[in-house]
Structure 1
Amino acid sequence: HEGQHAALASSSRPKTIPKEEFFDNLFQKLKNRFVSEDNERFLPWNDLRLVLDNNTVRECILQLDVEEEQYIQIYGDRCSSSRLRILATLILTDCIDYYHLNSFLEEGIFDNSLPLKEENAPVFTRWTDREKNAFCKEQYIVLAPCFNFSRDKLRHYIFDPSIPMPFFNLRSVGRGGDGMVSSVTIQSGHHWVSEQGLGTEGKIFALKEFTKYTTFAKEREALDHFSGANPGHDHLSRLLLSFDRASKWYMIFDWANEDLENFWKTFSSHPKSHIHLSWLIAQCHGMAEGLSKVHGDGEKQQISTTTPPIPDRGRHGDIKPSNILCFNQNRHGEMKPSNIPQDDSRLIDYQLVVADFTLMHFHSPYSLGGTSPRNLACSRSYRPPEKDIESAIKIDQSYDVWTLGCVYLEFISWYLLGYEAVREDYFCYLGKYVKSFPKMRMDEKSDLPQDDFFIMTKNRFLSFPAVVKPGVVKWFQFLRQNKDCSQAIHDILDLIEKHMLVPNPKGRWKMFEISERLETIHKKCERDEAYCSKGVPRRVNFISRFGKDFPPQGRVAVVPETFIHRSIGHKRDRKDIF
């Protein structure tokens, strides 16, 4: 074919090396840049551009006797309008000559037209079967996608199963809702990080995989309210993009260092720190404010007689510590390397974000009903009483108020008493072994002891058939008499006890009211350090109020020494116990 075009060449520059040697060298350079990961092989875009740089493409044009004016048609000015991937594939398949390259120029086919199917691509009309097969097979090596995380819209990609993903170090970290979550490094040059993305640990992202489309679609629909061009919130998880490939569906998120559950285990609290308590209250306020946005509190929708109302009133449905992510940000909003030792003084660099919207439900503000309790999945420890009531009571947004109140109470408990107080059976307090918060909530007389926050009652004098567990009530008092319990903490405990952990959902505050109250407390903390961090314990008559569980000399639920040796003697070497 080459003799037909010699007169068309406009360049008279001498060739630097023989044509065959030149393209053999390029073949080896490209092949040496291949990456193999998880049984997939691809040529990273940055490496392709490094090999086929400006000067090399001009030399290719010279070697092939292509008109030099065609340079911009090959090198391009953007990823989507170049023919560099086509050029690389021609080199890798030994189809690199004027005729084969010019067929793409004549047909107006760019990189963004790949992958091509040999049976219906006009460009292959005069190619041999070997050439068509080789090109169609090798083209996938250069087709690892470039993900666009820009916030102008929420993107969804559909990928041919043969297209390789530009992923490294794919590591499963567990399940999130109904999807498998992995940490993954996306090859540099294959993603554009969001302009205001919440730290991504360098190039690490969270990849969530779904095997059921209905589950994927439901969560994506919920996340769409706060992702893409829609205004999100700093304390709500934002979806970067989604894609489907080989009958599986995926979501990509910013990568968090850990969840709140592990955060409590990683960090020690500093109850006397004004800065730390101010940070804690700010995080609680931020989460409530974000959830208020989910609930649509204070937003009014115009009633229309011709179109159905938009379902913009949401309910998260599964608020718990493992669904609250912790992002470590430095003062410039960038992620810190994960190999830097944890420094408790940097606790304030973390931002808490409510995540996992698998169970989120949106409805119209004019829909009368909620969700039937029996149709709702939940976390048993944090579920509200209405979940267990077989009656006409429907699940509504007050569900989130109860579950968030449970998390807040554990958060304050960790802050004042440490990790063992919220996750072990016993912890050391004032030289005594005492029951932890989960242990205080256990109804050990029951056939199935549970660490939930309420019990059902048949007391006919009560207007609602559930009450807060006595162990939870005792725990509130235990926290209030702590020497480091400041007035700010008292105010938060009052908010939780009086307006959040209220058995009757009709008696709970709206999420926006909780947000406003926490904002008031936080602003006062910023102005008044004593209000924030000076301990003002409230003394109570423990014998008259709680009997033998809380003796006055220790003011804690002391566990018999013999029981301690029998139950947790194997933990006596742990430094946090003593």
Structure 2
Amino acid sequence: MHGIGKSDQAFSRMIAHDQPVNISLQPREGSSKCCGQPPSCQCRSEASRGRILRDLQNASEGDLSESHHQPLPRASPDSYESKSRFIPRGSLLQILGKRTVAGHLSTLLDDSQPLDQLADYISPGQEGACHCGDGLCTGSRILFACLMRIGREDRIVHLYNQPTTRRVCDGGLPFSDGGRFPEALNGLKEKEKQLFRHAQWQLRSHYLTKLNPEDQNFRQLDDEASLPFLHIDEGATTINGGLSIVRHIRIDSEHHDLCESSSHFALKTFKKGPISEEYFRKELRANQQAPRHDRIVPVLTAFKHRRRFHLILPYASGGNLEELWTTYSSRGALGGRAAPWYSTQWLLSECLGIAESLAATHQPTITTDQGGQRNSTPQVHADIKPRNILCFGTVEGGHQSYTLKLADFGFARKVNGDSTLQVGDVTHTKTYRPPEYDVEDFIHLNYDVWCLGCVYLEFITWAVLGWSAVENFTNRRLGEYDGACTSEAKGEDYEDTFFKKVSRIPRWYDLSGLKFEADRNTKSTSKKTATSQRSFRMSRGKIPISCQVKESVKSHIVDIRNQEVCVPEIREFLDFVEEKMLVIDAGKRVNSSEVEIFLRDMTDRQNDQD
């Protein structure tokens, strides 16, 4: 079978014969020598074989590069090596169609032989399926092509003549080095068997099936078979992460059931090593536990191939939110390309979509196969930032637009029954982390609300003032450091956060909390004398540390509010972010459902005005 992976649905019709007609290979009369006059010469079959093999070679595609640090290479059709090329299933079906196969068989078999039955066995058409019953099976095309590669297609007759229950097709491949060949191919020499094994990998490629939403197991793919990834445009980018990289790929449409509307996907590859495998398993588990929501990017499939772990996700043509900010501006005067789709309504709607996805993560329900719903365990996403919000291209009113979706649940963690997590259990996102991460022992679900509030504030900054203002805002935050005695770091502690730590140091005349300690030190000066010293120390004990929103953040919000282009709807949104989301006390911070309700009300009012 060309696609390595069984289909859940098989064709109901088969072309298997209960009583197959035995076929014997009878070369045409006069074919023992070349007379130069086809069809009665041997060169006709050789020419047919060469033409078919050339067509297969020219149709082959390069496998995904083994390099995880370079863009995908453009391979030449002349390089036809195992593990580096594959023939797309559609090309294999077309090149080895029934008519072509019958034509080639006619150069080998006597006219009296039932070519149609043998051609049906090799190349079952759309109206019939392989006798194995798998709708994805390519019949016996790969077997036939491999025998052609070694010049022994005569053995296909022996395979056909086997009883139906023992008849081999492409679904029986691969024939591994340690495995036995079918009895019908015992006539092959050992060297021919080796060449056959080599050829089969060039004709087979994996079929990628969609992951069941509740299945946390990944597939172990055969390392010898190629991945069905086609080359991407030279302008495609490779994004390097700490333990993984993400690539834009295109998968041959005949080799997957991941998406009906697109062949473009994102491939997330984890680098080799035990730590990467651990993160792969955690990310797969967290993503599978995330709710199925149209504003959450799903993992389509997961697999291991050639010692590397991979996730395949939908491809976001607009990149991430930060990339969108750097490329476009809400108005042409702000620099960058003007976004023709931008409006206040778009901004509010997309922020609502992300709030919906977060609320679904915090209060998830899962739809069962029977159509019912059941509650699932809430999760803290723990890594909300612009780079984890992806932009999917759409068309609105004839213009390009983007729909934003929440992605990357690699750091997500389930919360306890009391909706808390220990701080040490969460891998935080540095810039957008909330203050409780630094000064408390536990975090709550609204950990994510602070992070989202930070992203919303930068989103509003881009909308009103442009990308350069987002960068300036970052520099202003960096210029404001934590207060004295708040960390073990020497000197001033500069960090890009939206809050700072401060300590309450009592005045010198405040005697509360003071502790006095005395030490006595005796030292001999001679055999008959000694010195005795006493020292006294005064200390305050523990100094309370608290957090506050940075002044640079507060002043930045005032600057945005005072802009003439800051419309009333944006001001109302800005007030909500400042007063309800960027709140130091996590217990007084709104939850994700309240953020969703607020933004839904705003978008509804905006729609009524329009």
TM-score of the alignment, normalized to the shorter chain, above 0.5: yes
Q: Corresponding residue for 1:162?
A: 224
**8 Å CA contact retained: 1:35, 1:43:** yes
TM-score in terms of structure 1 length: 0.74
Superposed counterparts of 1:187-202, under 5 Å: 187-195=252-260
CA distance in 2, matches of 1:164, 1:260: 34
Q: Which range moves more in the overlay, 128-137 or 105-114?
A: 105-114
Could you say what secondary structure the match of 1:258 adopts?
coil
Could you say what secondary structure the match of 1:415 adopts?
helix
TM-aligned CA deviation for residue 476 of structure 1: 1.8
> 1:455 and 1:221, CA in 2 relative to 1: closer, same or farther beyond 3 A?
same
Matching residue within 459, 462, 472 for 2:553:
472
**8 Å CA contact retained: 2:231, 2:249:** yes
Could you say what secondary structure the match of 1:312 adopts?
coil
Is 2:177 aligned against 1:96?
no
Matching residue within 491, 494, 503 for 1:449:
494
CA distance in 2, matches of 1:275, 1:183: 26
Q: Corresponding residue for 1:552?
A: none
CA distance in 2, matches of 1:237, 1:7: 55
Superposed counterparts of 1:55-70, under 5 Å: 55-60=99-104, 62=106, 63-64=108-109, 65=113, 68-70=116-118
Q: Which range moves more in the overlay, 99-108 or 217-226?
A: 99-108
Q: Corresponding residue for 1:328?
A: 393
Is 2:595 aligned against 1:514?
yes
Is 2:299 aligned against 1:249?
no
Is 2:314 aligned against 1:288?
no
Is 2:174 aligned against 1:121?
no
**8 Å CA contact retained: 1:9, 1:67:** no
CA distance in 1, matches of 2:578, 2:434: 14
> 1:378 and 1:384, CA in 2 relative to 1: closer, same or farther beyond 3 A?
same
Is 2:561 aligned against 1:496?
no
Q: Corresponding residue for 2:379?
A: 314
> 1:453 and 1:346, CA in 2 relative to 1: closer, same or farther beyond 3 A?
farther
Q: Which range moves more in the overlay, 489-498 or 144-153?
A: 144-153
Q: Give the aligned residue type for 1:109.
A: V
Matching residue within 221, 226, 230 for 2:285:
221
TM-aligned CA deviation for residue 46 of structure 1: 2.2
> 1:328 and 1:16, CA in 2 relative to 1: closer, same or farther beyond 3 A?
farther
CA distance in 1, matches of 2:447, 2:413: 12
**8 Å CA contact retained: 1:11, 1:68:** no
**8 Å CA contact retained: 2:118, 2:160:** no
TM-aligned CA deviation for residue 225 of structure 1: 3.3
> 1:285 and 1:104, CA in 2 relative to 1: closer, same or farther beyond 3 A?
farther
TM-aligned CA deviation for residue 376 of structure 1: 2.5
Q: Give the aligned residue type for 2:205.
A: A
Q: Corresponding residue for 1:431?
A: none
Is 2:94 aligned against 1:50?
yes
Q: Give the aligned residue type for 2:221.
A: F
**8 Å CA contact retained: 1:269, 1:414:** yes
TM-aligned CA deviation for residue 209 of structure 1: 0.8
CA distance in 2, matches of 1:483, 1:223: 42
**8 Å CA contact retained: 1:87, 1:101:** no
**8 Å CA contact retained: 2:62, 2:231:** no
**8 Å CA contact retained: 2:449, 2:590:** yes
CA distance in 2, matches of 1:376, 1:527: 42
Could you say what secondary structure the match of 2:391 adopts?
strand
**8 Å CA contact retained: 1:441, 1:469:** no
Matched residues, number: 480
Could you say what secondary structure the match of 2:231 adopts?
strand
Q: Which range moves more in the overlay, 506-515 or 171-180?
A: 171-180
Q: Corresponding residue for 1:277?
A: 344
Q: Give the aligned residue type for 1:414.
A: W
> 1:81 and 1:169, CA in 2 relative to 1: closer, same or farther beyond 3 A?
closer
**8 Å CA contact retained: 1:319, 1:403:** yes
Matching residue within 41, 62, 86 for 2:143:
86
In the alignment, structure 1 segments of 5+ residues that lack a partner are: 302-308, 333-344, 426-435, 530-578
**8 Å CA contact retained: 2:341, 2:399:** no
CA distance in 2, matches of 1:510, 1:488: 21
Is 2:324 aligned against 1:258?
no
CA distance in 1, matches of 2:341, 2:193: 70
> 1:373 and 1:167, CA in 2 relative to 1: closer, same or farther beyond 3 A?
same
TM-aligned CA deviation for residue 281 of structure 1: 0.5
TM-aligned CA deviation for residue 473 of structure 1: 1.5
Could you say what secondary structure the match of 2:343 adopts?
helix
> 1:499 and 1:117, CA in 2 relative to 1: closer, same or farther beyond 3 A?
same
**8 Å CA contact retained: 2:547, 2:584:** yes
**8 Å CA contact retained: 2:22, 2:161:** no
Q: Percent identity?
A: 26
Could you say what secondary structure the match of 1:250 adopts?
strand
TM-score in terms of structure 2 length: 0.70
**8 Å CA contact retained: 1:259, 1:325:** yes
**8 Å CA contact retained: 1:9, 1:66:** no
CA distance in 1, matches of 2:214, 2:143: 29
Q: Deviations over 1:10-30 (max 9, x none)?
A: 999999674444323322322
CA distance in 2, matches of 1:497, 1:278: 20
TM-aligned CA deviation for residue 242 of structure 1: 1.4
Which has the larger helix fraction?
1
> 1:82 and 1:36, CA in 2 relative to 1: closer, same or farther beyond 3 A?
same
Matching residue within 382, 386, 406 for 2:454:
406
CA distance in 2, matches of 1:177, 1:314: 23
Could you say what secondary structure the match of 1:358 adopts?
coil
TM-aligned CA deviation for residue 517 of structure 1: 0.9
Q: Which range moves more in the overlay, 377-386 or 95-104?
A: 95-104
Matching residue within 358, 379, 388 for 2:438:
388
TM-aligned CA deviation for residue 294 of structure 1: 1.1
CA distance in 2, matches of 1:371, 1:104: 64
Q: Which range moves more in the overlay, 148-157 or 314-323?
A: 148-157
Is 2:423 aligned against 1:373?
yes
> 1:460 and 1:520, CA in 2 relative to 1: closer, same or farther beyond 3 A?
farther
Is 2:408 aligned against 1:356?
yes
Could you say what secondary structure the match of 1:181 adopts?
strand
TM-aligned CA deviation for residue 51 of structure 1: 1.2
Could you say what secondary structure the match of 1:140 adopts?
helix
TM-aligned CA deviation for residue 319 of structure 1: 0.6
CA distance in 2, matches of 1:504, 1:246: 49
